[in-house]
Structure 1
Amino acid sequence: MIFSESGCFPLKKPFVTLEQLRAITARYPTPFHLYDEKGIRENARKLKAAFAWNPGYREYFAVKATPTPAILKLLREEGCGADCSSLTELMLADRCGFSGADIMFSSNDTPPEEFQLAARLGATINLDDFTHIDFLKDTIGAIPETISCRYNPGGTFSIGASEEGFQVMDTPGDAKYGFTRAQLTEGFRKLRALGAKHFGLHAFLASNTLSNAYYPTLAGILFQTAVELREETGCDIRFINLSGGVGIPYRPEQRENDIAAIGEGVRRKYEEILVPAGMGDVAIFTELGRFMLGPYGCLVTKATHFKHTYKEYVGVDACAANLMRPAMYGAYHHITVVGKEDAPCDHKYDVTGSLCENNDKFAVDRMLPEIQSGDLLVIHDTGAHGFSMGYNYNGKLRSAEVLLREDGSTRLIRRAETPEDYFSTMIFD
């Protein structure tokens, strides 16, 4: 583990320097989300290499994580598809050049117009519930030849303390998603009778896991289930979608996942379960969002106010409307005072925004270097579920998004909202 020279926290370095950031903020006023093109492309290539043993492998990026056209096009250039979960996400994927088998549509409680658009685009539809079979047939007139179903095994999913030292636990039985095991068998039979020829199986059992064992464990469950389903129904299972759940280390002391080791673990399960069953041609899909983008985006903000009451507060020009996770989940996001990476962390602050809510805090009792007015702060790991979860409470306007290109130049990829945008949907008459 690497520590800063001050020795007060493990080092988590921004992908941008103070000199670069000063030049960028001279063009684009804070706050804004900044993305690292070089890091995104390198990570997409590492993922692809980790699953290169499977000829049909495809990553379907979770559009909900970062629904930004420039980012989606960048990932499409790297061979990724798009995982969509709503009407507008389907429209966005279409406008970014994804079509047909490039799109996976995984939705729940789905309105008819969303199934209709998914069918028109030729997307692979991943059904969330047994009752959606008749609903889909009635909505689009027929069951597509290729269809997928989401599996929820119920109960509690757990991997005990792994070699990485982390325990993975979640409760699928409390989740609103997916078919039961019995419903899968009945559903596959019914879909086949209604004209489906090729099938996929999907599951998501835990979120933001920091364990190289999660994907292989999930793969083992899905591979065994796929073998059983083929025996029970005779259906042609063409792909198995491991969905998301591979996490990132938000805290600097956490160890990151090794995607090569994860891919190798899935390969071993594949050869142990699917190959002996004569299913060695099944394609593996993933639907990663956080892993793909999280570390390669940050929220850049400026210190503007200081308050000395019962605690020491630093007010910044960003707020929870720009990054909801800390306010919503109490989530940790590391903060770097840019240019002071090696200064002693001898000041305890709450770092706050300006919303009329007491949970509008990016950090609570955080040890940081002394912060002065105008200092630039980088809030790490906002590349996924950062900008996308923004909102307009208190009339706050959504910030810009900027891409740091591989050559060091920058490109505005989403302008900041204006008051005219805010008022555009209001009716005053």
Structure 2
Amino acid sequence: MPMSADFRACALPRLDAIAAHFGTPFHLYDETGIRTTGARLLRAFAGVAGFNEFYAVKALPNPQILRILHSMGFGFDCSSIAELELARSIGARAEALMFTSNNTSAEEFAAAAADGGCILNLDDASLIDKVPQMPECVCFRYNPGAARSGNVIIGNPVEAKYGVPHEQLLDAYARARARGARRFGLHTMLASNERNAQYMIDTIAMLLEQAARLRQALGIELAFINMGGGLGIAYRPDDTPFDLEHLGARACELLGEYAHIHGRAPALHMESGRYMTGPHGVLVTRALNRKDSYRTFIGVDACMSALMRPGMYGAYHHIDVLGKAPAATDLPVDVVGSLCENNDKFAIQRPLPPISDGDLLVIHDTGAHGHAMGFNYNGKLRPQELLLRSNGTVERIRRAETLADYFATLNFEADLLPV
């Protein structure tokens, strides 16, 4: 969605100076916006005992961003050793960490158990016997199969590689308990960028149904259920925003009904990434060239390696041209990078104000799955990340990659397996 009014008011008047000081391109994140969203989330779920958000580190894996979220009391959802290390580097420990990987290796199990451990969320029943030491608290990722439909991004649960099938779930908990687990959670993740709150409400109801099933069949009282992430944001200006307050109210009601029947209810966790930081980041890039061919192309100094979503998913990201207001007479252009791929486009046939070489373009909603999904094809280097602090200062929180970084893995000790 378009930048918040506060972000716009603080950032845009200074953007020329920021670009002159730091150079382009860069991702710019808004600390105030992140904190405002975090506070809104806590208010919406204030009536839910034991509620917590485990921020999905994959969305924006920068320690300065994680520190902001950690200071608000949030935990972290990690899916790799690097993400665990990032979260631990800013002070998160033990049950403030949820480790959800798939096809988990022995090295990853060791990392999960190190330094105080974490909540271990197993993706597959076959992993139960592969955990070297079963932790006290274990969770399983649930895949309901044909009982639920996914959405466009994640797809049909029957086709998904993730999660324990319905018919294997009871046995998975029984086996984990036999190996020493004493506290249990239940997790799922069925949708991504979903703006229909009812879908998430139905997911909570589904998890509570499985909690009752586990209670009746095995006598297991779940410590928590985790509805996953997937809360969507309004990328287009006319998209309907996600109704967070409705979700919070219905979650409170559902958990209250469960507690009335069963005497107590599990805590509710979630692991939103995009919703927490997505709208609070922009990619700022400078126009380099205008090419008039069969259509008009505006070439900029960022490329798909800085923001993959439009090229990979055909995703819409709103674009402003700094200092130029849109008008009904604006002509459509393609905004493109310099990658040797034809899908290296930030916008296709988008009406935009007339753009001159040197103009700054502001590409919205890059605070999640922007820099994090970057890559080095064509030897392209990922850009720097900046943070607009709540006190108005602008801080570099990741430098741009250099050629030395790119070539670093070619500097190694020779190793040869003889014939």
Bin for the TM-score computed over the shorter chain? over 0.9
- Give the conservation status (yes or no) of the 8 Å contact 2:280–2:365: yes
Residue identity matched to 1:423? F
- Give the conservation status (yes or no) of the 8 Å contact 2:2–2:364: no
Alignment partner, residue 131 of structure 1:
126
Alignment partner, residue 145 of structure 1:
136
Alignment partner, residue 97 of structure 1:
91
Alignment partner, residue 407 of structure 1:
391
Aligned partners of 2:2, 2:172: CA distance in 1, in Å?
Answer: 50
- Most deviating of 341-350 and 115-124: 341-350
Tell me the SS of whatever aligns to 1:377: strand
Find the partner of 2:297 among 313, 316, 319.
Answer: 313
**CA-to-aligned-CA distance 1:268-301 (integer Å, 9 cap, x gap):** 2212334312233x11101000001100011000
Aligned partners of 2:298, 2:39: CA distance in 1, in Å?
Answer: 39
TM-aligned CA distance change 1:299 to 1:189, over 3 Å: same
Q: Work out whether 1:72 is the aligned partner of 2:72.
A: no
Residue identity matched to 1:130? A
Tell me the SS of whatever aligns to 2:253: helix
TM-score, scaled relative to structure 1: 0.92
Residue identity matched to 1:48? L
- Stretches of structure 2 lacking an aligned partner (at least 5 in a row): 415-419
CA shift, 1:421, in A, is: 1.2
Residue identity matched to 2:119? T
CA shift, 1:258, in A, is: 2.0
Alignment partner, residue 81 of structure 1:
75
- Stretches of structure 1 lacking an aligned partner (at least 5 in a row): 1-9, 160-165
Residue identity matched to 1:362? F
Residue identity matched to 1:72? L
- Give the conservation status (yes or no) of the 8 Å contact 2:317–2:365: yes
TM-aligned CA distance change 1:358 to 1:288, over 3 Å: same
Tell me the SS of whatever aligns to 2:355: coil
Alignment partner, residue 333 of structure 1:
317
How many residues align? The count is: 409
Residue identity matched to 1:325? R
- Most deviating of 383-392 and 340-349: 340-349
- Give the conservation status (yes or no) of the 8 Å contact 2:2–2:365: no
Aligned partners of 1:167, 1:203: CA distance in 2, in Å?
Answer: 17
Residue identity matched to 2:256? E
Q: Work out whether 1:28 is the aligned partner of 2:22.
A: yes
- Give the conservation status (yes or no) of the 8 Å contact 1:156–1:169: no
Alignment partner, residue 217 of structure 1:
202
Residue identity matched to 1:209? E
Correspondence 1:260-299 to 2 at 5 A: 260-280=245-265, 282-299=266-283
**CA-to-aligned-CA distance 1:318-377 (integer Å, 9 cap, x gap):** 000000111111111111112113444511100000000000000111011111111111
Find the partner of 2:168 among 183, 199, 211.
Answer: 183
Q: Work out whether 1:205 is the aligned partner of 2:199.
A: no
Aligned partners of 1:189, 1:384: CA distance in 2, in Å?
Answer: 37
Aligned partners of 2:332, 2:245: CA distance in 1, in Å?
Answer: 39
CA shift, 1:107, in A, is: 0.5
Correspondence 1:104-115 to 2 at 5 A: 104-115=98-109
Aligned partners of 2:220, 2:2: CA distance in 1, in Å?
Answer: 51
Find the partner of 2:228 among 205, 227, 243.
Answer: 243
CA shift, 1:266, in A, is: 1.3
TM-aligned CA distance change 1:61 to 1:307, over 3 Å: same
CA shift, 1:424, in A, is: 1.3
Residue identity matched to 2:135? P
- Give the conservation status (yes or no) of the 8 Å contact 2:3–2:279: no
Q: Work out whether 1:418 is the aligned partner of 2:402.
A: yes
Aligned partners of 1:47, 1:426: CA distance in 2, in Å?
Answer: 45
CA shift, 1:168, in A, is: 11
Seq. identity, %: 48
Residue identity matched to 1:179? V
- Most deviating of 299-308 and 18-27: 18-27
- Give the conservation status (yes or no) of the 8 Å contact 1:247–1:257: yes
- Give the conservation status (yes or no) of the 8 Å contact 2:134–2:180: yes
Correspondence 1:160-175 to 2 at 5 A: 170-175=155-160
Alignment partner, residue 417 of structure 2:
none
Aligned partners of 1:43, 1:258: CA distance in 2, in Å?
Answer: 13
**CA-to-aligned-CA distance 1:40-74 (integer Å, 9 cap, x gap):** 00101111111111221111000011000100011
- Give the conservation status (yes or no) of the 8 Å contact 2:232–2:274: yes
Find the partner of 1:226 among 193, 197, 211.
Answer: 211
CA shift, 1:169, in A, is: 9.2
Residue identity matched to 1:49? R
Residue identity matched to 1:153? P
- Give the conservation status (yes or no) of the 8 Å contact 1:298–1:378: yes
- Give the conservation status (yes or no) of the 8 Å contact 1:148–1:200: yes
Tell me the SS of whatever aligns to 2:145: coil
Tell me the SS of whatever aligns to 1:60: strand
Correspondence 1:352-367 to 2 at 5 A: 352-367=336-351
- Give the conservation status (yes or no) of the 8 Å contact 2:214–2:221: no
Residue identity matched to 1:124? I
Residue identity matched to 1:375? D
- Give the conservation status (yes or no) of the 8 Å contact 1:168–1:211: no
Aligned partners of 1:128, 1:167: CA distance in 2, in Å?
Answer: 21
TM-aligned CA distance change 1:308 to 1:156, over 3 Å: farther
CA RMSD of aligned residues (A): 1.9
Aligned partners of 1:331, 1:315: CA distance in 2, in Å?
Answer: 19
- Give the conservation status (yes or no) of the 8 Å contact 1:66–1:387: yes
Residue identity matched to 1:275? H
Tell me the SS of whatever aligns to 2:233: coil
TM-aligned CA distance change 1:420 to 1:241, over 3 Å: same
Find the partner of 2:241 among 256, 259, 284.
Answer: 256
